[in-house]
Chain A
Amino acid sequence: MRITQGTFSFLPDLTDAEIRAQVDYALSKGWALSVEYTDDPHPRNVYWEMWGLPMFTVKDGAAVVFEVNACRKAYPNHYIKVNAFDNTRGVESMCLSFIVSRPKDEPGFGLERQEAAGRMVRYTTRAYSAAKPAGSRYE
């Protein structure tokens, strides 16, 4: 099951040229880009691991693509996303975030039903891959 999180996630995977174009757009807006990765892509997991610090001083998209490629090399089978952060006073929030790399095989999520008091049912989603320990989820 293909995970759809962040911008462009309902489109086919972005090519490197398209990633570069998005990065250049973000830089033209003066946003700081950062690269993050995870092997626990639960929709509620907003804390992905940081691949280096956000790049506040970078002027050209090549540097961001360089970091994305370095992260892909280190974690070929993880989810990797690029974030663009607007540090304008009063905004100070993420303006763009999109997945740039994903594992070859995405098992998806299962729905778990928990029977609670009375006939109430609680639902929760659970990634099939999350059953394995961190680091060996997408081998």
Chain B
Amino acid sequence: MNAPGAPTVDLQAILRETNVQEVLQELDRELVGLAPVKKRIEDIAAFLVVSKARSQLGLEAATPSLHMSFTGNPGTGKTTVALKMAQILHRLGYVRKGHVVSVTRDDLVGQYIGHTAPKTKDVLKKAMGGVLFIDEAYYLYRPENERDYGQEAIEILLQVMENNRDDLVVILAGYKDRMDTFFKSNPGMSSRIAHHIDFPDYGETELMQIAEKMLAAQHYRFGEGARAAFEQYLARRMQQPHFANARSVRNALERARLRAASRLFAERNRALTETDLTTLAPEDILASRVFQTAT
């Protein structure tokens, strides 16, 4: 196909040098479910690798716009994915340092006139060379108060997102519906964000997998019947308000560990084995508030 002697570029070599594959595999291994998100991240990674190859042949001068928005319910892994995204961008050389600065409205918006700009600029400076992760970004815009300083922060953000595109990548995160209204009322923001990624809720089986991963990481496991108890717990908890996916799972396990500890403490005269110390019994989970209210 190529004319002989035409310069070529080796995508495999770029992948090898940058170890992007490794991060992607890690992402795949560590995060349960989230198939559409993983697909999008892979697409973006592929796009970046190809852009890098193009720039090696001198085809493209401008860096692609990399600002992203992660929308989804709480506990669906937005922060975790943002950390991985920073690693990918760092390995491909799109951000120089690869650190993530995670902020919310409080860190950007000041309390009196003239306080917002320096505060926002400070955060932006801190994030330069890395990724700025703005959690609950829709709080920046408060339409009910026209004198709200959030608008000022948004304007500075927009300016830096445009002018210092090589220096930092901004990731906005928040609930889907509220982010949609946020983008609708800030069209400038929406148009500067190249990648909108939606995080789906976890299913019950996925949540069970997450629970087991979390327990394994802390050297705990479900005892006999505890697994079934936890499945019941999840089924009930998911019906209740304020269910925060993986975060709720983590909190539930945290409380179960607490109960397991006091259960062991109650029978302190007995010599404990390693199994005792690492196993969650069904009663640790069934003692939850969720079961009491439902009966």
Contact = CB atoms under 8 A, between A and B. Distances in A.
A57 B128 CA distance: 11
Contacts of A52: 118
A109 B125 CA distance: 38
A63 B126 contact: yes
Contacts of B96: 60, 62
Interface string A58-81: 111111001100000000000000
Contacts, number: 39
A58 B126 contact: yes
Interface residues on B, range: 10 to 19
A55 interface: yes
B255 interface: no
Given A66-B125, A66-B128, A60 B167 contact: yes
Interface residues on A, range: 10 to 19
Contact of A58 (B118, B125, B164, B166): B125
B156 to A, nearest CB: 12
A59 B99 contact: yes
Interface in A24-65: 52, 55, 57-63
Nearest to A60: B129
Contacts of B122: 57
A59 B118 contact: no
Nearest to B99: A59
Contacts of A60: 96-97, 128-130, 167
A59 B164 contact: no
A62 B164 contact: yes
A58 B99 CA distance: 11
Interface in B103-130: 118, 122, 124-126, 128-130
Contacts of A55: 125
Most chain-B CB neighbours within 10 Å: which of A52, A66, A67? A66
A59 B167 contact: no
Contacts of B166: 62
B99 A62 contact: no
Interface string A64-108: 001100000000000000000000000000000000000000000
B109 to A, nearest CB: 18
Contacts of A63: 124-126, 128-129, 167
A55 B128 CA distance: 12
Contacts of B97: 59-60
Contacts of A59: 97, 99, 126, 128-130
A66 B118 contact: no
A92 B166 CA distance: 33
A55 B125 CA distance: 9
A123 to B, nearest CB: 44
Contacts of B130: 59-60
B90 to A, nearest CB: 12
The 5 closest A-B pairs by CB, nearest first: A60-B129, A63-B125, A62-B167, A63-B128, A62-B128
29 contacts: A52-B118, A55-B125, A57-B122, A57-B125, A57-B126, A58-B126, A59-B97, A59-B128, A59-B129, A60-B97, A60-B128, A60-B129, A60-B130, A60-B167, A61-B129, A62-B96, A62-B128, A62-B129, A62-B164, A62-B166, A62-B167, A62-B168, A63-B124, A63-B125, A63-B128, A63-B167, A66-B125, A66-B164, A67-B125
Interface of B: 96-97, 99, 118, 122, 124-126, 128-130, 164, 166-168
Interface of A: 52, 55, 57-63, 66-67
Given A60-B97, A62-B128, 5 more contacts: A59-B130, A60-B96, A60-B130, A60-B167, A62-B168
